[in-house]
Structure 1
């Protein structure tokens, strides 16, 4: 009767780790590029009005914020009502049309979120709404805070 022996590999099999730092740096770079950390510096005061029925928008990347409120001046003073988009105060209301139209072309599912101070002039809000309508940005959201 013949006895058969199993052949065993004579060398150890190790996992190569020489490429690991490259993989780690590629992942780090990927997350740095895709993560959005930037916040807008508010140049206007916005105290949101209260509401009962509020819906939360899950896809924040689709939002573009327009802030309307009194301009913050040095010395904790407040000026006239202004419109702010991104980090810039918009002096000419007509510029909102082209700015928002360009944003809509970049992101077709864009939702414009209006954050309006509760003491702001209604006429300024109406002017902004007309410019948004001219820019064909019909998906508009009004930001509020929940009633206690």
Structure 2
């Protein structure tokens, strides 16, 4: 009789799952860092003007964005080719600006309401009339801190020849 038994051929060792949680957390961390959350889906053309003195907003949670421009190709059948106002994800009338701003402000904490800011993202080819109407609605809503969003660059390139 022999003391040693021969190994049976074809048996595979058990797979170790000790490192599996590390791999799962590493993938989770990667996707959390690499994923970009969308703010709004633009329904208007938004070719921003250039400006020389540009500052980044420190806290976008305290900002309500209003987009002004011509509807993009998908929306032109429904809204035509005149300038429109986009509040959040939908195209709205100028009269709804006041309700939109008040709703955004009321969702904020009481301490942060003093820091509430409205950022206007106006297409460089938009008419001034609709912008004036939006600014009047903002005054009526007591949203007096207004910011104009632009791209950094030479502002002289904004002038049409």
TM-score (norm 2): 0.64
Which runs of 5 or more residues in structure 2 are unaligned? 1-20, 155-161
Could you tell me which of 130, 134, 146 is aligned with 1:140?
146
**Cα root mean square deviation, aligned:** 2.6
Which runs of 5 or more residues in structure 1 are unaligned? 1-20
Q: For each residue in 1:26-77, what CA deviation from the matched residue of structure 2 results, as whole angstroms up to 9, or x when unmatched?
A: xx8xxx8xx9823311000011111111111111111111000000123999
Note if contact 1:47-1:118 (Cα within 8 Å) is conserved in structure 2: yes
Counterpart position of 1:104: 105
Distance in 2 (CA, whole Å) between partners of 1:147 and 1:59 is 23
SS class of match (1:94):
helix
1:1-148 correspondence to structure 2 within 5 Å = 37-74=37-74, 79-90=81-92, 92-107=93-108, 108=113, 109-147=115-153
TM-score (norm 1): 0.70
